[in-house]
Structure 1
Amino acid sequence: MRNVFKVTLIAVGLLFAGQVSRAQSKIGYVDFQGLIGQMPEAKAIKPQIDAYQKQFVDQLTAMNNELQTKGKAYQDQGKTMTDAVRATKQTELQDLQKRMQDYQTDAQQKVEAKSNELVKPLADKATAAVKEVAKAKNIAYVIDSSRGNPLLVSGPADDLTADVKAKLGIK
């Protein structure tokens, strides 16, 4: 009777240990930003973003030239101005500088939004490929190694970048 109990206990223990080992999840990683940058479609996006950004740079250059011209005129004529005119000119220069800063902030936000809009289809395509590769390799979690969190220890078998590149047709 004791032997049957021991054998049963050992069998249950082995069954439980097998379930625990099956429950462990595999983790892989991929350089997602590098992957997107190597996609053929990415080469067409950069010129579009640059052209969009150039519109804002040209406007900021014009505003800066206006500020420089008015600033130089203020310095040249500052000694001959009355206090009221001087105060008005200072306020005008400060307003122009503030508008320029506001425009620059708005331009950066618009360029970032346009960039995100253009990159989203590539990111979606890459994400789908990562999911397919992870599913095929039975990997539960995939870490983006390009996010500034370099992996401290990883095996070459855990790197899915090459497999995802192959899935996307990237050499």
Structure 2
Amino acid sequence: MKKLITAFSLAAGLFLATNMANAQQKIGHVNSDDIFANLPEAKTAEASLDAFTKTKQSEIEKLITTYQTKLKAAQDKEKTISEANKETVIKELTAAQTELQTLGKGIEEARTKAAQDVSKKQSELFTPIQQKVSTMISTVAKEKGLAYVFDVAASQGNSNLAYVDGGEDITPTVKSKLGATGTAKSAGK
């Protein structure tokens, strides 16, 4: 009986030790903001997006200037109204009002289209970079035998990850493999 209890205790101990070893999975963290801030192709994409956005803003500003010029002309025309030219001026002001309404709608449509174009351009520029970074994070995590990797970047909403103590920071390795430059930023310990 004593041998049975000893064998059972030994088996239970081995079972618990095996489960504890399996339960101790390695955890790491990465700061994707730091990676993107130091990745040359992300900087290039950001500059390209800024230039594209400024072009769209310039186009809208031209439309607004045209609108303002025509509005001022209509307001000046309104001041010239008299009994002698009343009918002619009213016709001209009605035509100007219609033109101003059309221009106003055109400005709003241009703003909406510009916002869509900028969003599309941002997606075109950054989606491949994000996929590349994500793939590299997965690769580094697998190389290091990590079961979980948390992104501690502020832009990723790290508000639910208030404290990081331990775990392996794979940000420098991912940055190195992607050719990013610069030093790691604190993840808010």
What one-letter code is carried by the residue in structure 1 that aligns with 2:120? A
Aligned to 2:140: 133
Contact 2:26–2:167 at 8 Å: present in 1 too? no
Q: Give the total of aligned pairs.
A: 170
| SS of 1:29 mapped into structure 2 | strand
Q: Please give the per-residue CA displacement for 1:82-113, whole angstroms capped at 9, x wherever unaligned.
A: 3x655554443233222212211211221121
Aligned to 2:53: 53
C-alpha distance in 2 between matches for 1:20 and 1:76: 85
The answer on 1:168 being equivalent to 2:168 is no
Provide the TM-score with structure 1 as the length reference. 0.80
Any runs of at least 4 consecutive aligned residues in structure 1 with deviations exceeding 6 A, and if so which? none
> Which runs of 5 or more structure 2 residues have no equivalent in the other structure?
82-88, 182-189
Seq. identity, %? 35
Aligned to 1:155: 165
The answer on 1:93 being equivalent to 2:125 is no
Aligned to 2:109: 102
Q: CA deviation at 1:3?
A: 5.7
CA RMSD of aligned residues (A): 2.7
The answer on 1:145 being equivalent to 2:188 is no
Q: CA deviation at 1:169?
A: 3.0
C-alpha distance in 2 between matches for 1:41 and 1:67: 39
C-alpha distance in 2 between matches for 1:95 and 1:10: 87
Contact 2:64–2:107 at 8 Å: present in 1 too? yes
> Which runs of 5 or more structure 1 residues have no equivalent in the other structure?
none
C-alpha distance in 2 between matches for 1:77 and 1:25: 79
Larger radius of gyration: 2
Contact 2:27–2:167 at 8 Å: present in 1 too? no
C-alpha distance in 2 between matches for 1:98 and 1:6: 87
Aligned to 1:36: 36
| SS of 2:149 mapped into structure 1 | strand
Q: Please give the per-residue CA displacement for 1:97-152, whole angstroms capped at 9, x wherever unaligned.
A: 22212211211221121122122232222112211111122222222222132431
